[in-house]
Structure 1
Amino acid sequence: MECSTAEFFMIPFCWFSELFCTITESKIFMVLLAIILAKLVLINLSACYAISQNEGPRQMERALQMDDVSNSHISNYDYGPTHGPHTWQAEPNNQSPINIDPRCVDRVAFSTALIWSHYDDIPVGIHLENNGRTLLLRAAFNSPTPSISGGDLLSRFEFREISFRWSRHNTGGSEHAIDHAHFPLEMQCMHSNYSSDGSSTSSRVILMLSYIFEVSEENPYLDALVQHLVVVQRAGQCVEVPPFPLGYLMHAFYTRFYSYHGSLTVPPCHRGVEWFIYPMPIAIGARQLNEFRQLRDHNGALIGPNARPVQPLCGRTVKYNTFVARSRR
């Protein structure tokens, strides 16, 4: 009786075993298995591409460290009395930020419109980091990286990262000033004209787009960023946030903006930077601005002010650019 019972329970096992052997020996099974493996390979390649795109800002940072300033100085700089801007080693001319006097600008009209590409695309991911000095935003893209070209730019400049400048008071915070007036927040968007082979097609390696903010009504577009700042309040904290188009933060302007030749505003204060300054203040709510002011440095103190002082023009020309469309005859 026991033997008969054992044989009865073995029947399903034998049946499934024969079925499995039949399936694995069939050509259809081999084709399906090949398709599944191919999809897995494509998924991994896509992830690697996104990671490589996200490494762009780090590669840019390493490239910008080609200066006479030592790496130890670069890593130790801050805005305090010991390692603050007065101790930074930089070339004496073509430095940023500057004060823009609207009465002393060169008014320029151009007929080739600026071209903003892919700023409405949704990234694969967005990475926020509190580096103890500022807030950094980096993004990875599967589709083409957002870029700006046209105007008097000699090449196409691709997005790299966004950083912010602020203070604890509404009368200051921005690095750039317009008619000696500072603003409570400045957003600086770094772009580079490096091609895929690492070469450069312009004497200006970096394009920085600067936006200034003024305390006003709540800005719903900023909430896509601001709502996550509580997660990076301590220095060194990072977070991946739900992706949103960079166009939420970066207003696409085409006319009535300032431009000048300058530098980065952090060590090594690399020159060869073209600055575009959009002079129309963007609204930010008091609550939203306060979220930036809760970020802390490596000593646990609140960050701010984190702005380099205004630098002398030293004979440079600031342009006020106006787009004028060509008339059709």
Structure 2
Amino acid sequence: MKTQLRVAALLITGMLPAFAMASHWSYEGKDSPEHWSEIDANNQLCRQGMNQSPIDINKAMQAHLRPLNTAYADSPISIINNGHTIQAGFAEKAKDIVTIDDVAFQLQQVHFHAPSENTLHGKHYAMEMHMVHKNADGEIAVVAVMFETGAANEELAKLWQAMPAKAEESSALKQKIDVNKLLPADLTHYRFSGSLTTPPCSEGVRWLVMKHPVTLSAQQLKQFTDVMHHDNNRPVQPLHGRVIVE
């Protein structure tokens, strides 16, 4: 079993962007978001960047975006507590795709923040899921889904059953998870250009934030926050003239 877990961790580590792995930055204390740029010379965009995420989505320009074109068929294979979030990773040859600007982006991993990082009209949701994709050129697109407390989420429950309680622990997922069921039925969304919300805060990320939330139970939310021990959301960042479209 230990060998399986090591293999699972290597699968996650090998295919995910470097920003997903644990390091000495934090969400609180001397290594909190306002100090990220001081921790590492590579983190200067966390302070100097002009297209940083998350943001408050208040006004949006009507661009008549088409609903998201997704083709998610595979189940994540492993789950890791990297000390910053709970993250589920997919097999390297998985074919879960979202098409943006006629370009295919492959789903790499999903992870969670509570409370939400992006806000809508100044409102934080209970939790936010980030579905991180990459295209053949290495460009990143994040599909963000808001969660509000209400009915329990059956697919989330499958993930949470395997949630590692301690940082740097991972486990193989034994149940298949239908990623489509973690999405709202209505895939209309807001779109803007932003960044990673964790160091090194790299910019040029395509953000697509779903307009409609899904639900999780108060108990499911508590299970996540009890494992994290603290909020794991970066504060909203200035728009600096960026346009949000819908």
Change (3 A) 1:114 1:282: closer
Structure-2 residue corresponding to 1:16: none
Map 1:180-219; keep pairs closer than 5 Å. Answer: 180-194=122-136, 199=137, 205-219=139-153
Q: Distance in 1 between matches of 2:189 and 2:113?
A: 20
2:226 paired residue among 291, 294, 312: 294
Structure-2 residue corresponding to 1:312: 238
- Tell whether the 8 Å contact from 1:116 to 1:147 is kept in structure 2 after alignment: yes
User: What amino acid is the match of 2:218?
Assistant: A
- Tell whether the 8 Å contact from 1:185 to 1:214 is kept in structure 2 after alignment: yes
Change (3 A) 1:86 1:110: closer
Q: Distance in 2 between matches of 1:267 and 1:188?
A: 16
1:149 maps to 2:99: yes
- Tell whether the 8 Å contact from 2:129 to 2:145 is kept in structure 1 after alignment: yes
Q: Distance in 2 between matches of 1:164 and 1:307?
A: 9
User: What amino acid is the match of 2:202?
Assistant: H
Change (3 A) 1:253 1:149: farther
Which of 1 and 2 has higher RCO (CA within 8 Å, sep 6+)?
2
- Tell whether the 8 Å contact from 1:145 to 1:158 is kept in structure 2 after alignment: yes
Q: Distance in 2 between matches of 1:313 and 1:282?
A: 26
Count of residues paired in the alignment: 229
Q: Distance in 2 between matches of 1:265 and 1:145?
A: 25
- Tell whether the 8 Å contact from 2:12 to 2:90 is kept in structure 1 after alignment: no
Q: In the TM superposition, what is the alpha-carbon distance from 1:253 to its structure 2 partner?
A: 4.6
1:164 maps to 2:90: no
Structure 1 residues 273-304: Cα deviation after superposition (integer angstroms, max 9, x where no partner): 010000212111111111102214xxxxx1x2
Name the Cα RMSD after superposition. Answer: 2.5
Q: Distance in 2 between matches of 1:155 and 1:285?
A: 35
TM-score (norm 2): 0.84
Change (3 A) 1:77 1:221: same
1:248 maps to 2:190: no
Structure-2 residue corresponding to 1:68: none
Structure-1 residue corresponding to 2:63: 108
Q: In the TM superposition, what is the alpha-carbon distance from 1:249 to its structure 2 partner?
A: 2.2
Give the greater-gyration-radius structure (CA).
Answer: 1
Structure-2 residue corresponding to 1:139: 90
Q: Distance in 1 between matches of 2:110 and 2:127?
A: 13
Q: In the TM superposition, what is the alpha-carbon distance from 1:177 to its structure 2 partner?
A: 0.5
Change (3 A) 1:114 1:310: closer
Structure-2 residue corresponding to 1:264: 196
Q: In the TM superposition, what is the alpha-carbon distance from 1:251 to its structure 2 partner?
A: 4.1
Tell me, what secondary structure is at the counterpart of 1:76?
coil
1:176 maps to 2:118: yes
User: What amino acid is the match of 2:53?
Assistant: S
Q: In the TM superposition, what is the alpha-carbon distance from 1:183 to its structure 2 partner?
A: 1.0
Change (3 A) 1:215 1:263: same
- Tell whether the 8 Å contact from 2:61 to 2:245 is kept in structure 1 after alignment: yes
User: What amino acid is the match of 1:133?
Assistant: H
